[in-house]
Chains A and B, each alone.
Chain A
Amino acid sequence: MNLICLVKFVPDVEDFKYDVTRNVLIRENVKMILNPDDACALAFCLKVKEKDPETFVEIVSMAPTSVVGHLEDLLRRNFDQATLISDRMYVGSDTYVTSRILARYLEGKTFDCILTGTHSLDGDTSHVPSQVGEALRLHQISNIVKIEETQFKTGWPVVDVDSERFISSYRVGLPAILSVSKDSKYKLPFVKFKNLDLDVSAKIKIITNRELGFRADEVGLEGSLTQVAHTFTRNLQKEDRVFVKTDEEGIDTVYDFLHAKGFI
């Protein structure tokens, strides 16, 4: 089988420090990590490959070239190829543009399935998998916690999806885009000791706009259809607090609040 896995490296948000006096997040020197959902998607690909060594797994990421080291680290775990889509022109792209760029690269590939994470720690939009799905006109399913491996090979996998209140099982025809959640508990193995210094540079391919051919006004900040106007930190202190007592009026206020918010 040919599998493609879309991955993204994100700033480690747990590592963010908060500057209370300036009311901003300190983002300098924050380390980048593999997005947790994506690690699970990659781990699933390795499971398939373990059972069926013929499987070819390509990792695709759109990012600055500074992530090459991270990609090499992944390649030492038995992936077959990593493609980094990187061009100065792409800096500042929103999800719509990112998805178009990824889709243009993917259009030219043959694959049985594309695996992705469900959402990312930084943007946390979950847009990219569905938008790439639309651009390629493939079904796409988010929040997958399990993919049945034996049926996967037949081209009609059964996937379990966590939709908060239910776990639903769907059968879907490949090719499709399957987006895994970190609740799937698929675990990426460590690099084997003997492979720690393995030279994998030949397995990395860098794709730029020369290959993909977008006009400058279609990508990056200029091509984006949404724009971050400003960011701010949330004031922890609630401004419009309501004070009540344990009398009937107070209990009714609490009840109505719980009802309006959907807790009752």
Chain B
Amino acid sequence: MKKSLIYLDAENIRNSIDLLEVAELVHGKGEVETYALCIHQCPKEAYGKFDVIINVQDDSIQTYDVLNITNCLEEMHRNYTFDSILIPATHIGRMLAPRLSMRLHVGLVADVTAIDHHDGELEMIRPAYSGKIMAGIVNRGRVPIMMSVRQNIFSYTSHQVKNTLSINVYPTSIQASNISLLEMKVKEKTKDIRESTVLISGGGGVMDQFHRLDELALELNAQVSASRRIVDSGIATRKIQVGQSGHTVSPKLYIALGIYGSLQHIEGLKNVENIISVNIDKDAPICSLSDIVVEGDAVEFIEKLVEKIRREKV
């Protein structure tokens, strides 16, 4: 049985737990014993999912103190000798993983988005050159295998309930720290469509009801953008136009409502991770780039999805 350690980052707990999927892809389902490490108290969701939860009990460790978290992880690795260590690529995770790999003298693959096996050898897939190419990376034989994993790519769907063993550990390697958090401010939302993580975009198909896009944007914390068709008819300003003569955008999610997907429009979509298109014509070019194609009226889609989101909230 292999042992895999997953670092649970408070910044994105649900996704940290989803790294269980990666552990299974790396070692094989049922072939791996999974360990979670949390600083302070472990969230309830993790119980029943991991074989072992290691709770680090030391009030002096701050969740941003990467040096001391590295000390803890190293100490745990010396105790358990893990075969793999998986770290979510959060803001902290992206500083923690390289530091730990240096400490353990093992290779590290950054921002993994897929796991592959070639002739029995593990290949970790990641984007490079700003997503223009993908690279398959192999580890040169040293263990543990280490990677940071791109957020919200993998999801763990198993319903198996495990009898989780919870251990409190009192690390001996904690050192005095000269870093402290003074304050945290929620970021002001920018109005620039290029900086938006989610874009709700409308085209010729929603010409008369373009303002309805706001309702969905509000629920998804998104901004509204448009195709040239909408801009040329004076319904929206050029500032929110996507495409060759508008802006190039790279949101994580692009919902295209009534957009045909001309070449000039698609030119403006760079490294968009997920596309959902709603169109009465399921063969419109934008649909071939989409993860989900919804065939039907865009405004009806907005109404129903907004209603569903609101219903699930209560």
Contact = CB atoms under 8 A, between A and B. Distances in A.
Interface of A: 11, 13, 16, 18, 25, 94-96, 99, 121-131, 133-135, 137, 139-143, 158, 161-173, 176, 224-234, 236-238, 241-246, 250-255, 257-258, 260-264
By secondary structure, the B interface counts as: mixed
Q: Give me the 4 closest cross-chain CB pairs, A-B, nearest first.
A: A225-B107, A173-B178, A246-B296, A163-B91
Contacts of A128: 98
A131 B96 CA distance: 9
A226 B185 contact: no
Contacts of A16: 129, 132
A254 B132 CA distance: 27
Given A121-B130, A170-B180, A263-B198, 10 more contacts: A96-B108, A125-B108, A139-B178, A141-B95, A172-B179, A225-B105, A225-B107, A237-B288, A241-B287, A264-B312
A126 B107 CA distance: 14
B154 to A, nearest CB: 10
B102 A226 contact: no
B11 A168 contact: no
Interface stretch (B32-40, B239-247, B302-310): B302-310
A217 to B, nearest CB: 12
A16 B67 CA distance: 38
Contacts of A260: 155
18 contacts: A99-B98, A122-B129, A124-B110, A127-B108, A130-B95, A137-B67, A168-B181, A171-B179, A173-B178, A224-B107, A228-B137, A234-B131, A238-B291, A242-B293, A246-B278, A254-B294, A255-B309, A261-B253
B82 interface: no
B186 A165 contact: yes
Given A227-B138, A255-B309, A264-B309, A245 B98 contact: no
B102 A134 contact: yes
A242 B219 CA distance: 23
A127 B110 contact: yes
A245 B102 contact: no
A126 B109 CA distance: 11
B99 A134 contact: yes
B184 A167 contact: yes
A165 B185 CA distance: 9
Contact of A158 (B99, B182, B295): B182
Contact of B308 (A245, A255, A257): A255
Given A124-B110, A255-B305, A229 B138 contact: yes
